[in-house]
Structure formats: C-alpha cells, structure tokens
Amino acid sequence: MRDIQKKQTDRSEYKVINGDRVKVGRRKRRNKYTLYYYLAFFVVVVTITLLSVTILFNATEIEITGTDLYSAEQIRQISGVEVGDNLIRLDAHTAENCVLNTLSYVEDIKVLRNFPDKISIRVTQAVAQMNIEHGGKYYVISDKGKILEAGLEKPKSGLITVKGFELNRFEIGENAESDDAMKPGIVKTIISTIEQTGMKNIVEINITDRTDIKLNYESRINILLGSSLDLEYKLNAVRITIDSRIEEDFNGVIYYLNDANGVSVIASDKLSGSLIGEAPSDYSKYDDDPNSDLPLQDQFNNGLK
C-alpha cells in the first residue's frame, strides 16, 4: 500500500522585494499591531489622568453639614479645603485630622468626594454628657468619652458631675480614662440606666468607692445605692419613692437596702451614726409641720404604715 502523505497548506504571506517573491510571517505583523495598540492605550490613559488632575473634577461646591456650634466657614478654613480643589488630588485624611485636632466639639468628620465637582464635609458634633471632677478642676466629657474642655474652675452647667473617677488623661481631645479600669464602664452604665428609668434631676454621681455608689438628686437628696449590681431595679425603686412617697421639698437620704426591704428614707435632721456625713451639702433644716407634733421624718414613716 502506498503511504498517504498529508499536504500541508502554506499559509504564509509573500511580498515582492526587488523583483523577488519573499515570504513574510504573519506573527511578526501581529506583534507589530499589538505594540501599536498598547502604545495607543498608554497615551489615552496618560491623557485622561492628566486631565483628571488638572482640568476635570475640580470642586465648584463645598457642602458642610452636621454642626451648629461651628460655622461652615470655620470648618472649611481649618480643613484647608477650597473651591477649585481637584477631587482626585484631595487629601481627605489630612483635612479631617486638621479639624479633629483643632475643634474639640467635633466628635468625627468625613470629607467625601462627590464626582464630578462637589466636596461634602459631614461633621458629627460632640454631645457634652458630664463633668468629671479631679483635683479641684472640672473636665467636660462627651457621650463618647472624649475630653471636650479641661481644667475648668466650675462644672459646666446642666451636666451631671462625676466625682471619684480617678481621671488620668487631661488633654482636650483625649479619651477620658481612669486609674481604675472598671470605673468608666460603671459610669456609662449608671448614666444609661438613669436615662432608661426616666429618673431626672440627678446632679452628681460619686464613685469614689465603686461598691458604694452615691447619687445626688436636686442637691437635696443623697441616694446610697451600694454596687452597680441590679442598678435598674434600684433606681426604679428610688424613682417611685421620690415621685410618690415623699414630700416635694424633702431633704435627706434615700438608702437602698435590698430587694426584700426596699429603701430607707431619712431626713437630714434625723441622720445619726455613720449616716450623718451623708446629708446633702446644702442641707438646711426644715420646720416641722405645724399641724402635727411629730418631727418631719416620723411623719413620713407614719405615712408609710
């Protein structure tokens, strides 16, 4: 049998050079076109990049929201952001840090690029929550734990004052920390529980001894709670006592005993023993009821029976 030989098709291309027919490979031409394509793509990318950082995406508007304590112009100037800034080259992180490091009542800030031509600055304003007393000075602390004001001679009006915190950070902008790592969490729990129970007019928290927590109500009632265990139950018991079981001008001590015995209420003029020192600091003795020969505290106890 004769061997069958496959006929190979010559797919090469030819060119006539100096009268001679010369074979030219397709692969060389293909490589040459590919190089052109890459070069063209590179030129396009470079052109678009240059346009983006020079002519395109320049800010025509700066929007600032989230604060009524500082003006929009203050925020803009301190951030360093200006109309005409290029959105691509904008250093948002530096702008944010400039504001955070300068304005204490800014809790957080975001500088955002809104293409094609707008910069948005979103401010989260700090909310002052408490004064912390330390060494005779007062430090205003936000609800996130940031020191907003430092070294005040008097506590900031309208805020709860915390004593016995053992503050060990004192610079504006730092987070308030304590020598006792448990105390920041306890204070946060106390304030949160006060809000949850709807107990208003607490003006002072004393956690010098965190197993012997003391609150002051309207500067006329000292509340002795013990530890922070079952805090919600304790505060509800105290709130009910204040709202419905004692006179509106009562001055003295409410002492939480336990869940079985509830609270003990003692007027300032009836304190004795170790409780004498627990009288409210602005205590002034109240007159007895002229319609009764019982002293103030006895009247109250009689009313509970």
User: Is residue 277 pLDDT above 90, yes or no?
Assistant: no
Paired with 86 in beta bridges are 58
Confirm if 180 and 162 have CB atoms less than 8 A apart. no
User: CA-CA distance, 157 to 137, in Å (whole number)?
Assistant: 14
Rounded CA-CA distance 93/299 in Å is 66
Please state whether the predicted TM-score (pTM) of the whole model is above 0.85.
no
Q: Which residues of 256-275 are buried (b: 16+ CB within 10 A; e: fewer)?
A: beeeeeebebbbbbbbeeeb
Mean predicted confidence (pLDDT) in 187-194:
96
Checking if the pLDDT of 214 tops 80, the result is yes
| First-to-final CA distance of the chain | 129
Averaged over 108-130, what is the pLDDT? 96
Mean pLDDT of 108-122: 95
Q: What is the pLDDT of residues 60-70, one digit of tens each?
A: 999 999 999 99
CB atoms inside a 10 Å sphere around CB 152: 13
pLDDT in tens, 226-272: 999 999 999 999 999 999 888 888 999 999 988 888 899 999 888 88
pLDDT range class, residue 296, cuts 50, 70, 90: very low
Percent of the chain with pLDDT over 70: 76
Q: Give the domains, in start order, of the chain with CATH numbers.
A: 61-125 (3.10.20.310), 127-166 (no CATH), 180-304 (3.40.50)
Q: Which residue has the higher pLDDT, 55 or 135?
A: 135
Distance CA(157)–CA(128), nearest Å, equals: 11
Query: Mean pLDDT of all residues in the chain?
Result: 83
Residues in the chain: 305
pLDDT at 297: 39
Least confident range from 135-149, 168-182, 218-232, 264-278: namely: 264-278
Look at residue 93 and tell me whether its pLDDT is greater than 80: yes
Q: What is the pLDDT of residues 149-160, one digit of tens each?
A: 999 999 999 999
Nearest partner of 207 among 175, 179, 234, 174, judged by Cα = 179
The pLDDT of residue 270: 85
Distance CA 16, CA 101 (A): 77
CA distance 219 to 204: 8
pLDDT, mean of residues 139-153:
97
